[in-house]
Amino acid sequence: MPRTQRTPIIVPPDEGRAYAMGPLRAVFKADGAETRKRYSISEWWLEPYTRGPGAHSHDEDDVFYVIEGTMSFFIGGSWLDAPKGSLVIAPGGTPHDFENRTAKRAGALNLSVPGGFEPEMSGIAAWFRARPEADARTENAPRKATSKPRARGGARNSFARKTRR
């Protein structure tokens, strides 16, 4: 059987097919026909205190290599912190999740085997964008200050006035 000559793939830094998902961003470097659907390579970037998709499993193996910051991974029934340089592999069928529980941006290179993952991204990105902001924040995220200014003589003063009568 004759081998088809494939074209080398070179993707410069900060380039690829990007999917904005609120406080998450995925950038696909190679997938589909480029890899003969054998694998998919993407970067996943999470802003501080950002949850991932929630525990899930699929037939593909997921390989994560942390390229910036510290990512937390749910795998094997428990959470673990994986600093830059860590490798985490979720074999197909293994429930897994990821999130950034730190105050700094974090990112991981993802290799999904076999490939063909990118066609699902439009639906995945829409789900992330529709997720309420409170659901996107990790449990340890600092509470956000309210942006509503208090009325002059706010609730505290009203309460004090009522109790002094």
Residue 1 within any structural domain of the chain: no
pLDDT of residue 146: 56
What residue numbers bound the domain in which 49 lies?
A: 19-134
Structural domain includes residue 117: yes
Write the pLDDT tens digit of every residue in 15-69.
Answer: 999 999 999 999 999 998 899 999 999 999 999 999 999 999 999 999 999 999 9
Q: Is residue 12 part of a domain?
A: no
Structural domain contains residue 45? yes
150 belongs to a structural domain: no
Residue 94 lies in a domain: yes
3-state helix, strand, coil in the chain (%, to 5): 20, 35, 45
Give CA–CA dist 107/26, Å, rounded.
10
Q: Is residue 91 part of a domain?
A: yes
Question: How far, in Å, are 23, 85, 129, 150, 161 from residue 153 at the CA level?
Answer: 36, 53, 38, 8, 10
Total of domains in the chain: 1
CB under 8 Å to 9, separation ≥6 — which residues?
A: 29, 30, 34
Query: pLDDT of 71-118, one tens digit each?
Result: 999 999 999 999 999 999 999 999 999 999 999 999 999 999 999 889
CATH code for the domain of 50: 2.60.120.10
